[in-house]
Structure 1
C-alpha cells in the first residue's frame, strides 16, 4: 500500500514539474502585442492586442503622453483595427516590457492620421530598442510617399497608407526598453507594437560572402541589430500573418520588384513539402515553398537572360540576402543548375537545388552576405542558367527572397532627405492623399495635365498661325549643333575638309523641307516602301539630281522617337567611313521626324540569308560582308577618344550597296563610350532580343564588348542562315546563339551549316570562323576579343579561303602560313599609309588601353576632326 502511495506521489511530482516547465515555456514564447493610445483590447489575426494604458498589460509607460483616435482607416490592411488609435508624444517616451533574455522580432505599426493640433506631416522622431538605434529623424508620411513613388516607378502598387517596420535584435536583459525621442520642435506617434520571440536557429552567424570565392563571413548577430527590408513570396500570392503561424510575418508578392515581369513565370506544386533540415521549421512557412518562379518561355524565348529583382536599399550598410528554394519539378540531380548574382557579382555557380536540399520537394534556404557602399542605393538579385554545365535544363528557380540590413556601430537608421518638413504642413497634395485616398488625387492630377496639354497646344497653334511659318515640332536638335538650314552651308562644310578626309565641322547634313520629302517619295507612296523597322517605314526616294535615297519616316506609335532621332543625326554628323551608311539629311517640319540616307541597292544582309527569293551569298561574299561590318564597328569603337557603342548590331542593320559592300546602319540607340577613368557606361538596357549581351542585360553596364557579343550572333546567323529567335522550332533550337554554341563546342558546327554552302567553303576557314564566333559569345565581356581582334581574324579566314579557292582552281596552293604572310603584308602597307596621313594631321591619340588595334585600308576612314582616327595593328604572329 505504501509503495502504491509512493508511486502516486512520484507521478504527482512529475506532473507538477511538467506543468511548471510548460508554464515557463509558455512565458518564454509569449508575444507582446500592444495596442497604443488606448486601454482597450482588440482581436486581430486571431491574437489579442492589449491597450498600452491597460493596467494588466505588463507594460510600463514613462509618461502618459496623448491618446489619439480616428473613426476611419483609409487603406487596406489586416491590421486596420490597430490603426484607429495612436499614442502621440512631444517629449521622450519609454515603453518598458518585462520579458526574458533572447532573440526577438520587433514590429512598429505606423499609420499617420491628423489629430487636433498635431499634423502628422510635421512629425519627426527617433526610436531605440535596448540601446540599438532603429530610426532617426523619421517622418512617416515622407517615408510612405517615398516607398509609393519607388513602387510606382517599378510598375507596382502605389497606394500604401501605413508602414510596418520590422527589426530583429538580441537582448541579455530581463526587459525590453523602447525609447521614442521626437525631433526638437516636432512630435512622434506609434499605433501598435509587436514583440515576437524568435528561435535561436533562425539565423546563423557564418554565411557565404558574395564574390568571396566560397569564403564565409561572420555576422556576429549577437552584437548587431537587423532590419527586414524586403520579404517576398516569389511566384505566389501574398502570405498574411495568420498564414505564418510561427512568426506572423508578411510575405509580399514579388512582381512589383522584377525588372521584367515576363522573365519569370509562376509554378505551383501541391505535393507534400518537407523541410530539408528539422532546424528550418521557423525559417519560412511551407506555403513559401509551394510556389516558385522559373524562367519564362515567352515571345522572346531568350533563355540566356536572368530573372532579375531590383530593390532600393540604404547605402553604406551590410546586407544579408536569404534565398528560399524547393525543387518542384525534377526528381534527380543535374537537371536544373543555374548561377546566382547579387549586385552584379557572382554569388554561386552551378547551383543545383536537388543536390543542396537532398531531394525533390525539400524546403531549403541559402544565405549570402554583401556590403553596399556609400554611393550605391540599389541591390540586385538575379538568377540565370549556367550554360557552362551539362545540366539538362538551362533554367533557374526561386521560391522566396528576404533582404536584411545589418547595423553598424549600434545604428540601423538611415537619414532620408524628405525635404523641408514645413513644406508638408502646407502641402495640400499630401494631406489630401492621406485623407481622401490616392484615387481622387490621381483624378485631379490627370485633369491638370490634360488642361496643361490643351493650353500648350492652343498657344503653340496660335504662335504658328501668327508667324505663318512651318516651325519644327521640337527645338532641342539645334543644341546639338548637328545640322544646317541650307545646302550652301553643307557645301561650305564639304569644302572645309582637310586633304586627308577629316571634316572640319559637324554641320554637314542638309535639312530637307517636308515638300522635298513628299516629292521624293511620291507623297509617301506605299509602293515605295523598302523596309519597316522599330523607328518606322523606309521609302525609296529620288532627291535632287536623280540621286536615289533611303528615306526613313518615324511612326508616331513607335517605341523609338525624338531621342533616337537626335542621336542618329548627332552620330552620323560626326562619322564618315566607307563601312558606315552615310546620312544625307533630315526633315523635322510639322512634327515629322524623317532621316535621309544613301540608298543601299542590295538591302539588308538578312534578306540575302533567309526569308526572301534572293540568290544566296557565297562563302567568300559572306566573309567580305562580315569583314566590312567588322571594319565599321571597329571604327566606331576606336575612331574617337571615347569611342561609340552601336548597341543594336544585327543583320537587318548591316546593309549592302550595289557592289555588296557592307555598311553598318541605324545609330538611334548608339552611345558614346566610357571616359578614360571608367570601364563602362551605366544605362538602361536597349537592343534586340537574340542579339542582346546577357552581361549587359544583367548589369546594365554597356561596353564595347556588348557589340562584340551581338556581332558573334551575326556570325552564327551568317553560317546557319536562320532567324536568331524562332519559337516554331524545337525547344533546344529556338535560340540560335545557344543552339549554334552547343554544336561549336563539340567542333561540329558544320552539322547545322546553311545547305546552300555545302561543299563550297574551305573547311579550315570555316573552322576558324566558328572559333571567332565562339569567342565573341563568351559569357563575360572581359573574355571576348575586341572588334579589332575579330577583324584581324576574319581577314585571316578570308585569306585561308582564297588560298583554298586557288588550290581548287589548279593553281599553286597557298599554305596557311602563306595566307597569314599575305594578310600581314597587306595590313602593314595599309598601316604605313595611315600613319603618314595621321602625322600630317596632328599628334595621334592612343587608345585608352594603350594597345594597337587592327584596322582598314586607307580608303576606309574619313574621320571627323583632325585628332580622331582609326588605329591599325602591327601585324604579329598569333
Structure 2
C-alpha cells in the first residue's frame, strides 16, 4: 500500500511540474489575436482571431464613437492569408482605446492591420488618425490609402506590378507587468479604422543590446526602454515568405528585387539541404527558409564594372536611429578565403574582410550581423551595398546576402514621422498645398498673359526671319540654336558645367585666335567625314590644315542635340586657363553662324590606347610606355597642384592620353573635370561620372570626389599600359574580365611579368617592372587615404625609367650606374619635372592660379 502511495505522490509531482512547465511556456509564447469589428472568432493564417466584440476578460474597448464595418464585396486583399479578418473593421470618430490585460512582462511584436474597403458614409481616402501604445507615439496623422498607394508607386518605379492592397505596421514594444493600451486618435473632423491587432511574444534572444556602430565601435541600444518599428524585412534572393512559414514569430518576409538599384546585379542561388544555425541561440532570429536562398554578385556583362554592384536603396524617416540586420549563409564555397567582401551602409564601411564561411564555422551555417546607423536629419534614404574586398586576397571577388531587416528606434518617446501621401501615393505638404491653391487663380491669369506675350514675340521673330537674308551656311544650322560664346559671363563660370557661360572680351582673348567659319570649312574641306578623327556626345572632331600648313584638331558641337553641352562648356573654361606641356593646348575658337567650334593642337600619334591594342600601329617599347605614363602623370600633377583648390580630371583613361609627333603624352578631354575641395573640406560631393573600368570604387560608394579618384584611374592606366588589353573584356574568363582586379591579383603574388604584353618580353628591365607594379598596386588601394599623391606616383615612375635606362646601357655594354645611384638622382629629376612649366611664364602661372581659384 505504501508503495502505491509513493507512486501516486510521484505521479502527482510530475503532473504538477509538467503543468508548471506548460503554463510557463504558454505564458512566454502567449499571443493576442483580435479581429476588429467582429463579434465572432475567425480563422486566418492557421490561427484563431477573436472578435473585439466577443466577451473577453483579456480585452476591453473604450470609445464613444464606435462602429463596426463589414465588407459586402470581396476586397482587393481577398487573396491574402488575412482575407477573412480583412472583411471587417472597427471604425472610430473619437479616441478608441484597446486595453489588453493579463500580459506577462516582456517584449512583444504588435502588428496593426489596415485593409481599406467601402465603409458606408466614411470615405477611406479622407481617413487620418494617430496611434499610441502606453504613451509611445507609433503613428502620426496616417492616411492608410495614401500609404498603400505610395508602396505601389515604389513597386511601379522599380518595374514591378503594383499589388499592395493592405498595410501592416509592426512594432516591437517592451511591456511591463501592467496592461497594454493601444490608443487610436482620429484627426479633427476625420475618422480612423483598424482591421486587426496582433500581439506576439518575442524571445529575449531576438535582439542583443550591444551592437556594432557603422564605422565605429560597439554601442548600447537600450532596447528595454525603447520602441522599435520594423521598416523592412526581406528574403534576399528568395520568394515571399508568409506568417505560416515563420512559425516562431509569424513574420512576413518580402522579396528584395523592388529595392535593388540594379536587379540583375545579383544572381539568385539556393541550397535547401542541410541548412542549420551556427548557434542554437539564433533559432528565433529568422526561419531556415530565409537562409536557403541568397544573392551573389552577378556576372552579367551589363554590370561587370560595378565592383560593388549589389545595392539596395530604402526610404527611411530622417532624424532617427536604425538597426540594420543582415542574414548570411554560405551556400556555395566550402573553405575559407574563397569569398571575402565588404559591407557598406550609407556609404560607410560597416564591415571589411567579411568571410561567411570563417565566421559561421562552415558551409550551410546560418548567421546574422547587426549594425547601428544614426541617420542625419536631412537623410531620408538608407543604402546597403555589398562588394568585394580586393585587399583581403580572396581567390574570388564576390559577395553574398540571404536576408535583410531594417528597424527604426524610437527617440524621446516617439516613433512617428509625419509624411502625408495623397491617393496617388505622392507626398503632400498641407501648408504648401494651401499656398498653391491660394495662388492658383493668380497663376492662371499670369500664364494667360505670358502666353499672349510669347505668341507676340514668336510672330515678330518669324516676320523678322522672313525679311532677313541668310547665306548658305544657315541651312546647316536650325533656327533657335545659339552659339555658346554669346552666353558667357566670366564671373559665373562653372567648371562643373552647371552654370551659364558668358564670355566677355577679356575671357575670349584667353581662348586664343578667333577663326572665321570660312577658315574652318577650308581646313576641314567643308567638314568632310573622311577627316573625322573622333566623335563624342557633343559632336565630331576633325583633322584640319590651315593655309600656312599648320595641322589642327577641330571639335565641332552638334547643333541638333544638347547632349554633352555641359561638358563642352567645362572644356572651354578649363582649356582657356590651363597651360602646360603635358596638357593638350587650345589654339582658338569659332562662334560664327550659330556654330560652337574649338580648335586644338593636333596630336599626330593619336591616343595611347591605339598604340597598345586594337590597331595595326607598331607597339610601343617599354621606355616609350614609361615616358607616356610619366608625361600624363606630370599633366595630372599640374592639375592637382596648379591652383589653391586644384582640378580633378575625373575621366583619366588611355583614350584621353594623346601623343604628339614625338610621342610626348598630353592629357585631354576636360569635360568632366571639377574643381577640388576647398581648404575646409576633404572632398567634393557630386554625382558619379567617369568611365567603366577606371572608376574609383570609393568615389562610386560615397559620391565623394577627391584627387585620389584620379590616382585610382591612373593606376588602371598603368596596368593597361603594361598588359596591353581592354580594361573590361566580357569574352574572357570571369576572373580576367576586369583588368584592374586581374592584374592586381597577379601583382600581389609578385608575378606581374606573367601577364604583360608579349611584345615586351625580354625588352624590359625586371627591376623596373617590379617597381612599376608596386606603384600601380598602391594607386589601386580600395580607400583613397591609402593611395599616393600624384606627385609621389610621378617620382616613382621617373625612378622606374632611370632603372630601365641603366639596364639598357648595361645591355649595350656601356658604363652604367646602379639602381641605388638611380634612386639618388631620381628625386632631383622628378622634382624638376613636377614643378616646371615649360610652356608658361611666371606671370602666366600667377594668372592661372588666380583664375583656377574661381572655378567651382
Partner of 1:271: 273
- Measure how far apart 1:224 and its partner are: 1.6
Residue 682 of structure 1 is aligned with which of 685, 698, 709?
685
Partner of 2:181: 177
Give the Cα separation in 2 of the matches to 1:380 and 1:310. Answer: 5
- Measure how far apart 1:718 and its partner are: 0.9
1:372 aligns with 2:375: yes
Partner of 1:207: 211
Q: Is the 2:318–2:376 contact (alpha carbons within 8 Å) kept by the matching residues of 1? A: yes
Alpha-carbon spacing, 1:352–1:668, altered in 2? closer, same or farther (3 Å):
same
Alpha-carbon spacing, 1:159–1:4, altered in 2? closer, same or farther (3 Å):
closer
- Measure how far apart 1:358 and its partner are: 2.4
Give the Cα separation in 2 of the matches to 1:189 and 1:252. Answer: 25
| 1:351-366 equivalent positions in 2, closer than 5 A | 351-366=354-369
Give the Cα separation in 1 of the matches to 2:769 and 2:232. Answer: 52
Could you say what secondary structure the match of 1:91 adopts? Answer: coil
Give the Cα separation in 1 of the matches to 2:315 and 2:2. Answer: 73
| 1:256-405 equivalent positions in 2, closer than 5 A | 256-299=258-301, 300-302=303-305, 304-405=307-408
Could you say what secondary structure the match of 1:868 adopts? Answer: helix
Partner of 2:469: none
Give the Cα separation in 2 of the matches to 1:683 and 1:675. Answer: 14
| 1:403-482 equivalent positions in 2, closer than 5 A | 403-416=406-419, 419-421=428-430, 465-468=462-465, 470-473=478-481, 481=489
| 1:705-716 equivalent positions in 2, closer than 5 A | 705-716=708-719
Partner of 1:238: 240
- Measure how far apart 1:712 and its partner are: 0.6
- Measure how far apart 1:167 and its partner are: 0.7
Could you say what secondary structure the match of 2:631 adopts? Answer: helix
Give the Cα separation in 1 of the matches to 2:562 and 2:339. Answer: 36
User: Where in structure 1 are there 5+ consecutive unaligned residues?
Assistant: 429-454, 485-491, 497-502, 831-853, 872-878
Alpha-carbon spacing, 1:216–1:615, altered in 2? closer, same or farther (3 Å):
same
Could you say what secondary structure the match of 2:794 adopts? Answer: helix
Deviation sequence 1:782-825 (CA, Å, 0-9, x none): 11112222223323333444444455555543445655665555
Could you say what secondary structure the match of 2:183 adopts? Answer: strand
1:623 aligns with 2:626: yes
Q: Is the 1:33–1:195 contact (alpha carbons within 8 Å) kept by the matching residues of 2? A: yes
Partner of 2:33: 33
Give the Cα separation in 1 of the matches to 2:28 and 2:53. Answer: 23
Alpha-carbon spacing, 1:13–1:771, altered in 2? closer, same or farther (3 Å):
closer
Moved more, 394-403 or 186-195: 186-195
Deviation sequence 1:199-235 (CA, Å, 0-9, x none): 22211222233333xx433222221211111111111
- Measure how far apart 1:659 and its partner are: 2.6
Q: Is the 2:34–2:52 contact (alpha carbons within 8 Å) kept by the matching residues of 1? A: yes
- Measure how far apart 1:326 and its partner are: 0.9
Partner of 2:837: 857
Could you say what secondary structure the match of 2:387 adopts? Answer: strand
Alpha-carbon spacing, 1:628–1:69, altered in 2? closer, same or farther (3 Å):
farther
Could you say what secondary structure the match of 2:850 adopts? Answer: coil
| 1:485-634 equivalent positions in 2, closer than 5 A | 526-532=529-535, 538-541=541-544, 548-551=551-554, 561-583=564-586, 597-634=600-637
Q: Is the 1:65–1:87 contact (alpha carbons within 8 Å) kept by the matching residues of 2? A: no
Give the Cα separation in 2 of the matches to 1:773 and 1:652. Answer: 19
1:133 aligns with 2:115: no
Q: Is the 1:608–1:616 contact (alpha carbons within 8 Å) kept by the matching residues of 2? A: yes
Partner of 1:255: 257
User: Where in structure 2 are there 5+ consecutive unaligned residues?
Assistant: 421-426, 438-451, 466-473, 493-501
Partner of 1:51: 51
Could you say what secondary structure the match of 1:374 adopts? Answer: coil
- Measure how far apart 1:19 and its partner are: 5.6
Moved more, 821-830 or 367-376: 821-830
Give the Cα separation in 2 of the matches to 1:48 and 1:557. Answer: 68
Moved more, 130-139 or 699-708: 130-139
- Measure how far apart 1:287 and its partner are: 1.5
Give the Cα separation in 1 of the matches to 2:571 and 2:737. Answer: 32
- Measure how far apart 1:158 and its partner are: 6.0
Alpha-carbon spacing, 1:73–1:232, altered in 2? closer, same or farther (3 Å):
same
Q: Is the 1:324–1:401 contact (alpha carbons within 8 Å) kept by the matching residues of 2? A: yes
- Measure how far apart 1:472 and its partner are: 4.0
Residue 220 of structure 1 is aligned with which of 219, 222, 231?
222
Partner of 2:850: 868
1:767 aligns with 2:773: no
1:63 aligns with 2:63: yes
Give the Cα separation in 2 of the matches to 1:580 and 1:347. Answer: 40
- Measure how far apart 1:251 and its partner are: 1.4
Could you say what secondary structure the match of 1:201 adopts? Answer: helix
Alpha-carbon spacing, 1:251–1:585, altered in 2? closer, same or farther (3 Å):
farther
Partner of 1:193: 197
Partner of 1:166: 170
Alpha-carbon spacing, 1:147–1:721, altered in 2? closer, same or farther (3 Å):
same
Alpha-carbon spacing, 1:74–1:425, altered in 2? closer, same or farther (3 Å):
farther
Give the Cα separation in 1 of the matches to 2:162 and 2:436. Answer: 19
Give the Cα separation in 2 of the matches to 1:759 and 1:728. Answer: 28
Give the Cα separation in 2 of the matches to 1:414 and 1:141. Answer: 17
Alpha-carbon spacing, 1:827–1:781, altered in 2? closer, same or farther (3 Å):
closer
1:89 aligns with 2:71: no
Alpha-carbon spacing, 1:463–1:389, altered in 2? closer, same or farther (3 Å):
farther
Q: Is the 1:506–1:864 contact (alpha carbons within 8 Å) kept by the matching residues of 2? A: no
- Measure how far apart 1:3 and its partner are: 5.2
Residue 784 of structure 1 is aligned with which of 780, 783, 787?
787
Could you say what secondary structure the match of 2:206 adopts? Answer: coil
- Measure how far apart 1:318 and its partner are: 2.4
Could you say what secondary structure the match of 1:388 adopts? Answer: helix
Alpha-carbon spacing, 1:264–1:394, altered in 2? closer, same or farther (3 Å):
same
Give the Cα separation in 1 of the matches to 2:60 and 2:509. Answer: 78
Q: Is the 1:606–1:651 contact (alpha carbons within 8 Å) kept by the matching residues of 2? A: yes
Alpha-carbon spacing, 1:108–1:425, altered in 2? closer, same or farther (3 Å):
farther
Q: Is the 1:33–1:193 contact (alpha carbons within 8 Å) kept by the matching residues of 2? A: yes
Give the Cα separation in 1 of the matches to 2:79 and 2:573. Answer: 52
Give the Cα separation in 1 of the matches to 2:77 and 2:643. Answer: 56
Q: Is the 2:744–2:777 contact (alpha carbons within 8 Å) kept by the matching residues of 1? A: yes
Could you say what secondary structure the match of 2:131 adopts? Answer: strand
Partner of 2:756: 753
Q: Is the 1:59–1:95 contact (alpha carbons within 8 Å) kept by the matching residues of 2? A: yes
Moved more, 673-682 or 55-64: 55-64
- Measure how far apart 1:249 and its partner are: 1.5
- Measure how far apart 1:544 and its partner are: 7.7
Give the Cα separation in 2 of the matches to 1:631 and 1:800. Answer: 19
- Measure how far apart 1:161 and its partner are: 4.9
Residue 666 of structure 1 is aligned with which of 665, 669, 684?
669
Could you say what secondary structure the match of 1:322 adopts? Answer: strand
RMSD (Å), alpha carbons: 4.2
Partner of 1:834: none
Q: Normalization by structure 2: what TM-score?
A: 0.83
- Measure how far apart 1:665 and its partner are: 2.2
Q: Is the 2:110–2:198 contact (alpha carbons within 8 Å) kept by the matching residues of 1? A: yes
Alpha-carbon spacing, 1:307–1:201, altered in 2? closer, same or farther (3 Å):
same
